Structure formats: C-alpha cells, structure tokens
Structure 1
Amino acid sequence: MVVIVMGVTGAGKSTVGKALAESLGWRFLDADDLHSAANVAKMAAGIPLEDSDRWPWLAAIRAQIQEALESGEDLVVASSSLKRVHRDTLAVDSERMRWVYLHAPREVLARRMSQRHGHFMPSSLLDSQLATLEVPHRAVPIDVTPPPAEVVARIRESLKL
C-alpha cells in the first residue's frame, strides 16, 4: 500500500509522513528530495513553480510509487500534490493507494514556516500555495494543529492502519 500525505508548505508533510512511516515500519519518501536543482533554486528565490516545472518531478514521484506497488513495498510519500491533475498523475492504483490531506489555519502554517531552518521553501510562497491548492475530495482530511504523534494516531485510525 502507498499512503500519500499531501498539503501546502508548512502543513508538516515531511514530519508527519516520516513519523507515520516509522510507526508502520514502512519506507518514507519525501517528494521534495526529487525536485530538480532548478526547481529548488526557483522556490528558494521565492518564485512559485508552474505546472511545467512540476511535470518531471511528478513523473519521478509516480515512478517511485509504481516501483513500490510492483514490488509489494509499503510506502508513505510526502508530496504537496496541490492540484487534482497532480494527484491524478500520481494515482497509479486507487485500490492500493490512500490520500491524506493535511491542513491547518494559515496562521498555524505561517508560524511553522517561520520556525523551520534550512528548508528551501520561503514563507513568502505560502499564499501562492494556498491559492493553487484544490482541496481534495477523495482524501482523508486531517487537521495538523495538534502535535505530530496525535496527527499520526488520527491518520492510522482514519485509514485503519
């Protein structure tokens, strides 16, 4: 099975995704690690990505998902997947994939972004991500305002994992 933890920057995709994977004994993939150097540089400069920037990145994520499903490996993926077309691109096998939409009030997201260090995504891109987000209707919505351990427990309970 593959669980994709998605949402805007600052929602805790990496933190929650990694903790979820560890609690399940599954492999974790942070999709940010698959961005090209050009994409990282663009975001670091405060320039939002366009879909043309995202297609190669989405293809790389999809390949990782496909490989995991073909080999029977359980995987948690942290990926923004802001638009429905992005999620459709990653949807290799709906029977063996689950989506979790991490969300919180803008103020919570902005505070978290201001407290993290060493991440290429500047706080200035939060509003563009919120504007780009197409809220998913086929994902389990999880409020990430509580501590990560509680968020992971809610995810596991919701997905019956």
Structure 2
Amino acid sequence: MGVSGSGKSTIAKLLSETTNIPYFDADDFHPEANVIKMKSGTPLNDNDRLGWLQTLNKLASKKTNEKGAIIACSALKESYRLLLSKNISDKTTWVFLEGSIELITKRMQAREGHFMPSTLLKSQFNTLEVPEYGLHYSISTSPDIIINNIKKKLQI
C-alpha cells in the first residue's frame, strides 16, 4: 500500500515472481467511471471507492482459501484497509511503501501510460493515514532489498 507512484506494482510483481503467489493490481479493478474521473484530474471520494474496495475484498477473500494473493492497492485510509481485510484480517499483512512527495512526483512524471496524473498526488498525501502496523519500507531502498526484507519477515 502507498500513494500512487510509490512502487506498489513493482514490488508486488517482484514479490509474486519470487514466491509464486498470484499478483493483482487494484487499479485493474476500478470501474470505468473512476478511471475517467482520475484521468480528468479529479480525485476519487469515498463513495467512488466503495464498490472498488468491496470487489477487492471479495477477490482477497477468495484467494485466502487458495494460494493467497499479493494485491497492490493504495489503501490510503484506515477505513479502506478495514474494508479490504474484512473477514480476513488475521490472514492479511500490510506492506507500506513510503517516500517523499518530491521523489514520488519525479517517478510519476517519468512513467508513461498510467491514468493517474501526478497532479493528484497531493490529494493522495492529504488523504493518506499512515498505519501504525504492518511492514514499512522506504522507497529510497532498492526493490530487491525491499523484496528480500519482506520475504524474511514473512518467512516466504
């Protein structure tokens, strides 16, 4: 979890590749209306996110009965994390990727093909409620080091 541009997809894909646990990008589950809204530069509100979060919870719940899942999702607010992990909180580990707005802005401006413009980053930082639990990693650390630390901590 973390704001857009923090490396969630990169870390999740690498972790999936090295553990054979299926990876899912939460952005792929946004309804078209959400994507259009973000492309226009308008931040999503809680009502926009509700159905999306419920869909992701259903996916996560299903996958906990299988091989598990690695889901890259912003999960900016505590209420979102509670909904995402509803009925599976004991099987959920949160990994928070944190970095400065300056570093993440540079990363977002350098990437191509993503629907979220860097102009919405400030609204994500304003919405972010940093969890007091879970694993926290600075994005100034290399992805390989982050992956190795996660695997050691989770013994996977």
TM range (shorter): over 0.9
Is this contact kept in 2: 1:142–1:154, CA < 8 A? no
- Consecutive aligned runs of 4 or more in structure 1 exceeding 4 Å deviation: none
Counterpart selection for 1:86 from 80, 83, 86: 80
Q: How many residues align?
A: 155
C-alpha separation in 1, matches of 2:40 and 2:147: 32
- Tell me what 1:73 maps to: 67
What is the Cα deviation at residue 60 of structure 1?
0.6
2:129 aligned with 1:134: yes
Is this contact kept in 2: 1:103–1:144, CA < 8 A? yes
- Tell me what 1:149 maps to: 144
TM-score by length of 2: 0.95
- Higher mean C-alpha displacement, 90-99 vs 35-44: 90-99
- Tell me what 2:6 maps to: 11
What is the Cα deviation at residue 146 of structure 1?
2.2
Is this contact kept in 2: 1:7–1:13, CA < 8 A? yes
- Tell me what 1:55 maps to: 50
The C-alpha deviation readout for 1:34-91, integer Å capped at 9, x for no partner, is: 0010100100111000000000000110010011113x22210000000000000011
What is the Cα deviation at residue 123 of structure 1?
0.3
C-alpha separation in 1, matches of 2:135 and 2:142: 18
C-alpha separation in 2, matches of 1:39 and 1:104: 25
2:76 aligned with 1:118: no
- Tell me what 1:159 maps to: 154
More strand by share: 1
Unaligned 5+ segments in structure 2 are none
Name the amino acid aligned to 1:113: M
- Higher mean C-alpha displacement, 22-31 vs 150-159: 150-159
Name the amino acid aligned to 2:97: L
Name the amino acid aligned to 1:122: P
C-alpha separation in 2, matches of 1:132 and 1:53: 14
TM-score by length of 1: 0.92
Name the amino acid aligned to 1:28: Y
C-alpha separation in 2, matches of 1:158 and 1:114: 32
Percent identity among equivalent residues?
39
C-alpha separation in 2, matches of 1:66 and 1:128: 29
Is this contact kept in 1: 2:105–2:121, CA < 8 A? yes
Is this contact kept in 2: 1:142–1:155, CA < 8 A? no
What is the Cα deviation at residue 124 of structure 1?
0.2
What is the Cα deviation at residue 144 of structure 1?
1.3
- Tell me what 1:3 maps to: none
